[in-house]
Amino acid sequence: MRREMFLPTLLVTAVLLSLSSARPPHIVLIVADDLGWNDVGWHNPQMYTPNLDKLARNGVILNSSYVQPICTPTRNCLMTGFYPYHTGLQHFVILDDTPGYIPTNFTTLPEKLKQLGYSTHMVGKWHLGYCNWKYTPTYRGFDSFMGYYNGREDYYTHEEGTGYDFRLNKDVHYLPQADYSAHTFARRAIDIIISVDPQKESLFLYLPFQSVHEPLQVPEKYEKIYSNIQNKERRIYCGMVSALDEAVGNITNVLRERGFMDNLLLVFTSDNGGNFQYGANNLPLRGNKNTLWEGGTKGAAFVYSETLLKKKNYENTEMMHAVDLFPTLLHVAGGSPDPGIDGMDMWPTISENKASPRTEFIYNIDDIDKNAAIRVGDYKLIEGIPGQNNGWYPLPTREVHFQEEDSVGRLNVDIQYQLFDIKHDPTEHFDISEKYPDVLEKLKQRLAEYKKSLVPAFSPPPDPKANPKYYNGTWSPGWC
Ligand SMILES: *[C@@H]1O[C@H](CO)[C@@H](O)[C@H](O)[C@H]1NC(C)=O
Ligand SMILES: *[C@@H]1O[C@H](CO)[C@@H](O)[C@H](O)[C@H]1NC(C)=O
Ligand SMILES: *[C@@H]1O[C@H](CO)[C@@H](O)[C@H](O)[C@H]1NC(C)=O
Ligand SMILES: *[C@@H]1O[C@H](CO)[C@@H](O)[C@H](O)[C@H]1NC(C)=O
């Protein structure tokens, strides 16, 4: 009797399981632009980010997840699984009028996911080259693209410098100017979600928001949340973070309503540290965006899934880097990367809290600025000048515009190597290079080893042919 009842139940369960596992999970990858370490609710109670906090706390908070110091290089890592010093994108960012790109022989994440049957959509900032159509999102693996090519622009008018920069797929797309980009992008993401049947297709949605990069702009209602903050830049900046949070809340609500949540992985990460000159804060970490310090390279990040994580509601402190998302997401999708990529599969590390396979990583190697940093175990070696802003920048309290660099931020230019024990000194207060010459030597040798495979930085000069005046006032492909 018992057995008879048990068997059909088992069969039904098995059928249901095989049905739900037949389809590779939906993947939503959200990137916040220039979001500081101290600018999310799970690090700083000043921040109002209820949606992000809930996802982070019910998922896995990544507390040792590294990114590149600036936009283009990090996005390169996400799309290729290679460090930028292997793609030529290690020096600075692609500027509006410089013809940089990801070389086309690198297979992108959406290209790989398409091979596995995914629908691939991108909403937001590209910043990986557009001087020729072949470098733009719909030629690099995305079925659709809504967003902009360059690194920054006005949140309402989509003007950047002397040109307009906003597209729907390949077409210039003019929007009502009252629209704030966090709302525009959330609506677009929701339209895409609604257009996909979660039982019939697997969705890859790449959502690199404009928020919270400068210019400092936000609708008043979000700024008002922070009326207790006296510093105007900080108040607007925090409002921008809360608008982003609301966008993520709206998107996850629709994912839930539409039945995506029982087979979905959501990843959230910043692309680099915050910029204190525009209201962001990285405390207690040292440095700023565009520096090799932890404040420039340790990303605020989490992973959320209701069904795919064996272990959740915890903080993961295992070492990982932005290049690792490529093989990790491919693993979740049921695929595997081509051999030779820099990224490592972190799925067992994230989903079961197993030890990370990664014991070393490269923060960057910039052959033009002549600086580099490497991590080996607990130790970090910095070679050369790590950047321009080298201090610990406090939360702004006064009505100041751009804070001048404080004295702790100035670095002796004669210093060639600095060594830190990140495990015991995560805020990089104590250079131990003189105390541990053997460790210093070991890390120098490891760095020299990595440098052997360096591809020289591709850093072409500005090209006047990029001028929007040749393209009806828009930043457009066609000049390389
Ligand atoms: C998380 O990272 C912060 C900043 O580096 C560090 O201070 C803290 O100790 C880390 N938490 C854990 C549990 O390791
Ligand atoms: C792409 O081509 C460059 C230049 O020939 C080469 O160095 C690099 O290894 C290639 N990368 C891949 C992934 O094929
Ligand atoms: C979120 O949805 C609400 C309700 O539709 C809307 O009022 C709000 O503007 C949306 N926010 C964003 C950032 O999209
Ligand atoms: C040229 O740009 C203007 C806006 O500046 C736009 O209204 C017009 O449609 C564009 N023309 C073409 C042919 O794209």
Q: pLDDT 10s digit of each residue in the chain, 480 long?
A: 344 444 444 444 444 444 445 799 999 999 999 999 999 999 999 999 999 999 999 999 999 999 999 999 999 999 999 999 999 999 999 999 999 999 999 999 999 999 999 999 999 999 999 999 999 999 999 999 999 999 999 999 999 999 999 999 999 999 987 899 999 999 999 999 999 999 999 999 999 999 999 999 999 999 999 999 999 999 999 999 999 999 999 999 999 999 999 999 999 999 999 999 999 999 999 999 999 999 999 999 999 999 999 999 999 999 999 999 999 999 999 999 999 999 999 999 999 999 999 999 999 999 999 999 999 999 999 999 999 999 999 998 766 545 555 445 667 767 799 999 999 999 999 999 999 999 999 999 999 999 999 999 999 999 999 999 999 999 999 999
Q: What number of other Cβ atoms are within 10 A of residue 196's Cβ? A: 17
From 370, 408, 375, select the one nearest 386 (Cα to Cα): 370
Q: Crossing angle, helix 232-257 and helix 181-195, to 10 degrees?
A: 10
Nearest CA to ligand 1 atom 7: 426
Q: Which is the catalytic residue, given 71, 77, 131, 238?
A: 71
- Distance of CA 156 to CAs 118, 164, 210, 373, Å? 32, 11, 11, 38
pLDDT recorded at residue 405: 52
CA dihedral 86, 90, 91, 93 (to 10 degrees): 120
pLDDT recorded at residue 178: 85
Examine residue 421 and state whether it is found in any structural domain, yes or no.
no
Q: Angle at Cα 159 formed by Cα 477 and Cα 129, nearest 5°?
A: 30
Q: Max CA-CA distance within the chain?
A: 83
- Cβ neighbors of 174 (< 8 A, separation 6 or more) are 164, 166
Examine residue 402 and state whether it is found in any structural domain, yes or no.
no
Strand partners, 419: 381
pLDDT recorded at residue 317: 98
Examine residue 448 and state whether it is found in any structural domain, yes or no.
no
Catalytic annotation present for 238: no
Nearest CA to ligand 2 atom 13: 106
| 380's tokens | 């970090």
Range 40-46 contact pairs with CB under 8 angstroms and sequence separation of 24 or more: 40/241, 40/300, 42/302, 43/300, 44/281, 46/229, 46/238, 46/395
For a mutational test of ligand 3's pocket, the pick from 246, 251, 254, 255, i.e. the residue with the most ligand atoms closer than 8 A to its C-beta, is 246
pLDDT recorded at residue 476: 98
Nearest CA to ligand 1 atom 6: 426
Q: Please tell me the number of Cα atoms within 13 Å of 143 on its side-chain side.
A: 16
- The Cα–Cα gap between 119 and 142 comes to 8
Residue type, 287: G
pLDDT recorded at residue 18: 45
pLDDT recorded at residue 399: 60
Examine residue 53 and state whether it is found in any structural domain, yes or no.
yes
Q: With residue 144 as reference, give the H or E element that holds it.
A: strand 144-148
Strand partners, 168: 146, 171
Nearest CA to ligand 2 atom 10: 105
Examine residue 209 and state whether it is found in any structural domain, yes or no.
yes
339 lines ligand 2 (CB under 6 A): no
Nearest CA to ligand 3 atom 13: 247
Q: Are 283 and 392 in contact (CB under 8 A)?
A: yes
458 lines ligand 2 (CB under 6 A): no
pLDDT recorded at residue 398: 67
From 441, 272, 286, 447, select the one nearest 367 (Cα to Cα): 447
348 lines ligand 4 (CB under 6 A): no
State the closest ligand 1 atom to the C-alpha of 37, by its place in the atom list counted from 1.
4
Catalytic annotation present for 71: yes
User: What is the DSSP code (8-state) at residue 22?
Assistant: H
Distance 246 CA to ligand 3 centre (A): 7
454 lines ligand 2 (CB under 6 A): no
183 lines ligand 3 (CB under 6 A): yes
169 lines ligand 4 (CB under 6 A): no
- The Cα–Cα gap between 36 and 421 comes to 22
pLDDT recorded at residue 106: 98
pLDDT recorded at residue 4: 46
Q: With residue 253 as reference, give the H or E element that holds it.
A: helix 232-257
Domain enclosing residue 139, as ranges: 24-364
Q: Which is the catalytic residue, given 26, 91, 121, 127?
A: 127
Distance 226 CA to ligand 3 centre (A): 19
- Given the DSSP bridges, would you call strands 264-270 and 301-304 parallel, antiparallel or unpaired? antiparallel
Q: Are 383 and 433 in contact (CB under 8 A)?
A: no
State the closest ligand 2 atom to the C-alpha of 103, by its place in the atom list counted from 1.
1
Residue position matching structure tokens 């001087």: 131
Ligand nearest to the CA of 240: 3
CATH of the domain at 50: 3.40.720.10
Examine residue 167 and state whether it is found in any structural domain, yes or no.
yes
pLDDT recorded at residue 21: 53
Nearest CA to ligand 1 atom 11: 63
Distance 284 CA to ligand 1 centre (A): 10
For a mutational test of ligand 4's pocket, the pick from 171, 173, 472, 476, i.e. the residue with the most ligand atoms closer than 8 A to its C-beta, is 472
Residue position matching structure tokens 């019939």: 200
Residue position matching structure tokens 């596995």: 116
- Cβ neighbors of 40 (< 8 A, separation 6 or more) are 47, 49, 52, 53, 56, 241, 300
154 lines ligand 1 (CB under 6 A): no
Residue type, 439: V
Does the predicted TM-score (pTM) go above 0.85? yes
Examine residue 1 and state whether it is found in any structural domain, yes or no.
no
473 lines ligand 4 (CB under 6 A): yes
Residues present in the chain in total: 480
Residue type, 228: N
Examine residue 438 and state whether it is found in any structural domain, yes or no.
no
426 lines ligand 1 (CB under 6 A): yes
Residue position matching structure tokens 């509601």: 313
- Cβ neighbors of 154 (< 8 A, separation 6 or more) are 160, 215, 217
Total of domains in the chain: 1
From 333, 352, 375, 390, select the one nearest 112 (Cα to Cα): 333
Distance 247 CA to ligand 3 centre (A): 7
- The Cα–Cα gap between 320 and 60 comes to 13
378 lines ligand 1 (CB under 6 A): no
pLDDT recorded at residue 149: 98
* Phi then psi dihedrals of residue 365, to 5 deg: -130, 110
Residue position matching structure tokens 């340790």: 298
Positions of E strands within 377-472: 379-383, 417-421
